[in-house]
Structure 1
């Protein structure tokens, strides 16, 4: 469904119900700052206006260095975010998490398109509802890392300084510093020169 009407941008329609404020009972809502963030980011040019987006993200409560470059299609559905200097966050980046989840991206990082960070999960529940109680985690990407397109980082995990995560890889554990990560097997991790 398009949210354009006669050439002007109109807010999405939710019918009689309101958009969901939380994914689980008892979790706090993302808040009006995050709603403002989502809508304001969409109005900026996708690969220009990096400084304007930095101001918008900072006003929404995220910690974004003034030299970080975040594309307009990036989405942060997580409260505690830190993005270091000279870092690029690519098109359609998505970060999801629980109420106390944390995501940190160091300096000099390159995050490819369609990368997904999952900093929240659920305990395994009973047979009648396998997605049990929610649990917040953290995803840390240290300085100088390169995360290839469509990689998925599942918390808790730490990507070591100067490492490369191959496109399409799924990371579910820590990656050592200066390593090329293809997958979880020992033969899928290759050392890089520092």
Structure 2
């Protein structure tokens, strides 16, 4: 029992620190990224609003100017990279883990993970779901409520379930 507690203790402390203390409204958003860095997340100067929930053990890297809005849920089992000045709208769900299809007796088979990448300057609207292994291109916009199941080209607007391209955007010179 003692060995089990010694193994679980770091995970319990991190869970309490990240999803309770760091997610609290009591921590100013300007300082929250510092608290999250103490938990081992690789964050540059960015904004993480209260109520963001984290789970997983993969590498998280956020570049300068990145923003996570309220109520975002981040499964970072497969890793997550967010480029400079990118942002996730409120209620967005980032999933980096899934399961193979199993036999009839148990359809959820072995687990798999795949890294999610959100490119520089990309804007992901409210209540978007991003599935494992997706790369959202630089300067891309994902419309609210979309489900991103495939890679998204840079400087393109995507909407719908599944997300489909609807408009090209001019790249910034």
TM-score by length of 2: 0.85
2:24 aligned partner: 43
2:144 aligned partner: 167
Aligned: 1:120 with 2:101: no
How does 1:122-137 map onto structure 2 within 5 Å? 122-137=99-114
Distance 1:59 1:53 in 2: 10
Question: Retained in 2: the 8 A contact 1:121–1:136?
Answer: yes
Q: C-alpha offsets along residues 31-51 of structure 1, whole Å, 9 cap, x if unaligned?
A: 532332212124343xx7123
Aligned: 1:34 with 2:11: no
Name stretches of at least 5 consecutive residues in structure 1 with no aligned partner: 1-17, 22-28
Distance 1:53 1:77 in 2: 17
Aligned: 1:85 with 2:43: no
2:83 aligned partner: 106
2:135 aligned partner: 158
Distance 2:116 2:124 in 1: 13
1:63 aligned partner: 42
Name stretches of at least 5 consecutive residues in structure 2 with no aligned partner: none
Aligned: 1:146 with 2:123: yes
Alpha-carbon distance, 1:76 to partner: 1.5
SS of alignment partner, residue 95 of structure 2: strand
Alpha-carbon distance, 1:57 to partner: 0.5
Distance 1:118 1:143 in 2: 19
Q: C-alpha offsets along residues 101-122 of structure 1, whole Å, 9 cap, x if unaligned?
A: 1011111112110000010000
2:73 aligned partner: 94
Distance 2:49 2:121 in 1: 19
Question: Retained in 1: the 8 A contact 2:149–2:163?
Answer: no
Distance 2:111 2:38 in 1: 27
Bigger helix share:
2
Moved over 3 A (4+): 42-45, 183-186
Distance 1:97 1:111, change over 3 A: closer
TM-score by length of 1: 0.77
Alpha-carbon distance, 1:178 to partner: 0.3
2:52 aligned partner: 74
